[in-house]
Amino acid sequence: MTEIPEHLRKRAEEARAKAAAASGSADATPDVPATEAESKIPAHLLQRSKAAKAKAEGDTPASTEVATSGGGVATAVGSSPLPVVTGPGGHTQRLLTVVKSGSIQDVKAVPQDKVHVWPHLLVGEFVAALSATAFLLIFAIFVNAPLLELANVNQTPNPSKAPWYFLGLQELLKWFHPMVAGVLLPGMALVGLILSPYIDRNPSNKPEHRKFAISLFTMFLMYWAVLVLIGTFFRGPGFNFIFPWNAGLFVEL
């Protein structure tokens, strides 16, 4: 059962006190306040309450008039009032009748911009993996992999280059100690990339809002790309620096 708010209970008590005070001067209805403005309760609600009390006592008046202070306009109620359901303590006013719904109902629509991993994400990833596997299988059937001649232990290729994805490390070995080039610098780069989401905590996924993360990744990518390009095209016999337009290309795919 809904409990009546305290301010409504106080308002009803004030209305009853004013009605009792005005009972001596009111002509038509001694139990009803003289005006609606004085009681702050709508006249039709007071009339409905009076009709319900009269019906409960077994007295059904033929017609009742409520006087108004504006200019003598009266409201008439028929001999058969509408059935009223009384609440706790005999109150006939409903909470939603007096209080606007906006003041007690706070409904906020929360946008749902997330989906479940299964099946929305995993199905797409599974289809992409199957497509890539099928492409590589068909490509391997019709295109042979380039193979060199058998290795000769008595003859080392000059220059001896690692695959292109390791040429960045090989280029670092040309300039630094193996401990620095192979462990320290790559480790610092990986740790920096791992910590970047915790340093740049901006939740936006727009490029103009993620300047730190994009700048960090761009510097890492360009740094590695430059090392790979130098090791691929600008290193000749003995892994010495050359100009490819003068000495040619020393790269094998």
19: pLDDT strictly greater than 70: yes
The CA–CA distances, whole Å, from 52 to 9, 13, 58, 107 equal 19, 18, 10, 35
Our count of domains for the chain comes to: 2
Note whether residue 81 is domain-resident.
yes
Q: pLDDT digits over 209-253, tens only?
A: 888 888 888 888 999 899 999 988 999 888 898 998 888 888 776
Among candidate residues 83, 100, 117, the one where a domain is terminated = 100
Note whether residue 16 is domain-resident.
yes
Report d(CA 113, CA 116) in Å as an integer: 10
> Domain check: are 94 and 161 in the same one?
no
203: pLDDT strictly greater than 90: no
CATH code at 163?
1.10.287
Note whether residue 112 is domain-resident.
no
Note whether residue 120 is domain-resident.
no
**Cβ neighbours of residue 27 closer than 8 Å, sequence gap 6 or more:** 67
Of 5 and 150, the structure prediction assigns the larger pLDDT to: 150
Nearest in space to 61 (alpha carbons), one of 40, 41, 47 = 47
Q: Residue 27's pLDDT is what?
A: 46
Note whether residue 236 is domain-resident.
yes
> Domain check: are 14 and 95 in the same one?
yes
38: pLDDT strictly greater than 70: no
Note whether residue 139 is domain-resident.
no
Query: Hunting for tokens 């005070």 — which residue is that?
Result: 21
The boundaries of the domain holding residue 206 are 156-247
Q: Residue 15's pLDDT is what?
A: 86
Report d(CA 133, CA 141) in Å as an integer: 12
Note whether residue 141 is domain-resident.
no
> Domain check: are 94 and 166 in the same one?
no
The percent of residues above 90 in pLDDT, for the chain, comes to 15
48: pLDDT strictly greater than 70: yes
For residue 46, with 0-12 CB atoms within 10 Å meaning exposed, 13-18 middle and 19 or more buried, which class applies? Answer: buried
Note whether residue 144 is domain-resident.
no
